[in-house]
């Protein structure tokens, strides 16, 4: 392969012209012939035994050219790219310029990363609001822990009320006809949870075990099943069981059961400390978002559409992978949500644009600041990934290219740099009690 020409034909759009020598191309043609001859019938020859020259005479000299060109493109284009020192950000479009006694002349067009200008990236101003933890926050967290450690107690001496978990059979009708998905037996429903259509759970409240009754509701106008949206429905319901979540007593024994502390006061202090740590991390994350927002505002670049499209597809593939880990896939997700692939792409597009712009800005800072990553730092990152994902180190190194990992580390250092140099103004958000007092004063 020889690179003939590297030309910038439009903004961020390059065209490479390269030649594959005749010997290499002829070998590719012969290989295609050997693959396809088994399926070719030529009068006078047994199937699969016709000479290449006879087939070419009958069907034309270029009968095997298209497949041969497709076979040689990957390796030839890789070599041409290496020699050109360009990095595509879009799928290349190939064209055969000519095939003659010198070989094959090919052309490839593709977009590359744009030239980037970034200004005022050091000393970015941002406000950091730290939320203090109130006694109400601590109590709410402890109540959540109590709920997780509750036990269900069967109720036989009173009707169902909000907060109970009831076991019911139900059968739904619209215009006197049963509808798909409207029937279940032995379904457990927590009253007041809002799991069912508005009004359904309220009409179960007050009934006793063994009661059979009708529940009259109206499906929301924006219900996901269009055939039911806005329709009146009647559910025939039978109540079989009522259970109540009994919460553990809030005392030292509870603290011992759910933590490593011996007293409730020690446990509450630990809960408060952990909630404050969570708030601090949240404040740090918000500040980083603000800094990145400013960084993007200070970015100047004519970004190829292909970069946004590629990143959007990355988000879609990642989402599909996460769904599969939960036993779902995109097809099932679309069925339940009423979305389609284009709608999902539209949802991810703003995130993709932000990701592309952020990366370009940080890569420019890496270049401007001369940021590097040492071999030891890259090796340490390989080890961290190996331990984090439980994968052998050799396998991690095969999966993640050294240069890509090195680039990621440099980008992380750029993030650390702009955060370190940022001018952060810290304020403390008022706790819940103070907000309530302020509201009372205002009234």
For residue 256, give every residue at least 6 positions away whose Cβ sits within 8 Å of its Cβ, in sequence order, or none.
262
Percent of the chain with pLDDT strictly greater than 70 = 97
Across the range 334-347, mean pLDDT stands at: 90
Q: pLDDT tens-digit profile of 156-172? A: 999 999 989 999 999 99
Q: pLDDT tens-digit profile of 252-285? A: 999 999 999 999 999 999 999 999 999 999 999 9
For residue 416, give every residue at least 6 positions away whose Cβ sits within 8 Å of its Cβ, in sequence order, or none.
none
| Residue 443 confidence class, pLDDT cut points 50, 70, 90 | very low
Number of residues in the chain: 443
Q: pLDDT tens-digit profile of 86-121? A: 999 999 999 999 998 889 999 999 999 999 999 999
How confident is the model at residue 339, as a pLDDT? 87
Distances (CA, A) of 3 to 18, 101, 108, 300: 4, 18, 11, 32
| Residue 440 confidence class, pLDDT cut points 50, 70, 90 | low
- For the chain, give the mean pLDDT: 92
Q: pLDDT tens-digit profile of 283-332? A: 999 999 999 999 999 999 999 999 999 999 999 999 999 999 988 889 88
| Residue 152 confidence class, pLDDT cut points 50, 70, 90 | confident
Q: Comparing C-alpha atoms, which of 31, 5, 9 is closest to residue 19?
A: 5
- Domains within the chain, CATH numbers bracketed: 2-112 (3.30.70.1050), 151-246 (3.10.50.40), 279-432 (1.10.3120.10)
Most confident of the following: 54-58, 195-199, 205-209: 205-209
The Cα 98–Cα 101 span in angstroms is 10
| Res 411 pLDDT > 50 | yes
């Amino acid at each position: 392969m020889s690179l003939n020409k590297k030309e910038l034909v439009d903004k961020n759009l390059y065209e490479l012209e390269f030649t594959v020598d005749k010997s290499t191309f002829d070998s590719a043609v012969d290989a295609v012939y050997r693959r396809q001859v088994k399926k070719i019938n030529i009068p006078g020859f047994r199937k699969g035994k016709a000479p290449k020259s006879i087939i070419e005479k009958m069907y034309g000299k270029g009968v095997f050219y298209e497949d041969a060109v497709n076979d040689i493109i990957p390796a030839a284009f890789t070599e041409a790219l290496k020699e050109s020192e360009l990095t595509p950000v879009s799928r290349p479009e190939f064209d055969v310029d000519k095939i003659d006694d010198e070989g094959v002349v090919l052309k490839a067009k593709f977009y590359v990363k744009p030239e980037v200008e970034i200004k005022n990236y050091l000393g970015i101003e941002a406000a950091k609001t730290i939320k203090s933890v109130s006694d109400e926050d601590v109590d709410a967290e402890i109540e959540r822990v109590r709920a997780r450690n509750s036990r269900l107690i069967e109720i036989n001496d009173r009707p169902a009320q909000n907060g109970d978990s009831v076991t019911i059979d139900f059968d739904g009708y619209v215009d006197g006809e049963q509808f798909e998905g409207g029937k279940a037996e032995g379904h457990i429903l927590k009253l007041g949870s809002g799991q069912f259509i508005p009004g359904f759970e309220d009409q179960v409240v007050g009934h006793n075990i063994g009661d059979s009754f009708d529940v009259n509701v109206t499906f929301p106008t924006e219900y996901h099943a269009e055939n039911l949206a806005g329709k009146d429905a009647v559910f025939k319901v039978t109540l079989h069981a009522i259970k109540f979540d009994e919460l553990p007593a809030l005392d030292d024994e509870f603290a011992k059961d759910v933590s490593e502390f011996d007293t409730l006061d020690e446990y509450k202090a630990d809960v408060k400390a952990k909630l404050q740590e969570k708030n601090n991390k949240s404040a740090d994350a918000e500040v980083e978002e603000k800094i990145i927002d400013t960084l993007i505002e200070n970015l100047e670049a004519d970004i190829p559409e292909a970069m946004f499209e590629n990143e959007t597809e990355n988000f879609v593939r990642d989402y599909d992978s996460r769904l599969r880990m939960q036993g779902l896939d995109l097809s099932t997700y679309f069925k339940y949500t009423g979305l389609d692939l284009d709608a999902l792409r539209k949802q991810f597009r703003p995130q993709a644009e932000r990701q592309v712009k952020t990366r370009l800005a940080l890569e420019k800072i890496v270049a401007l600041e001369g940021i590097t990553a040492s071999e030891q730092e890259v090796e340490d990152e390989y080890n961290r990934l190996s331990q984090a994902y439980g994968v052998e180190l050799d396998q991690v190194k095969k999966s993640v290219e050294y240069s890509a990992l090195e680039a990621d580390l440099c980008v992380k250092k750029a993030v650390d740099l702009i955060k370190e140099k940022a001018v952060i103004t810290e304020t403390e958000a008022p706790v819940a009690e103070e907000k309530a007092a302020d509201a009372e004063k205002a009234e």
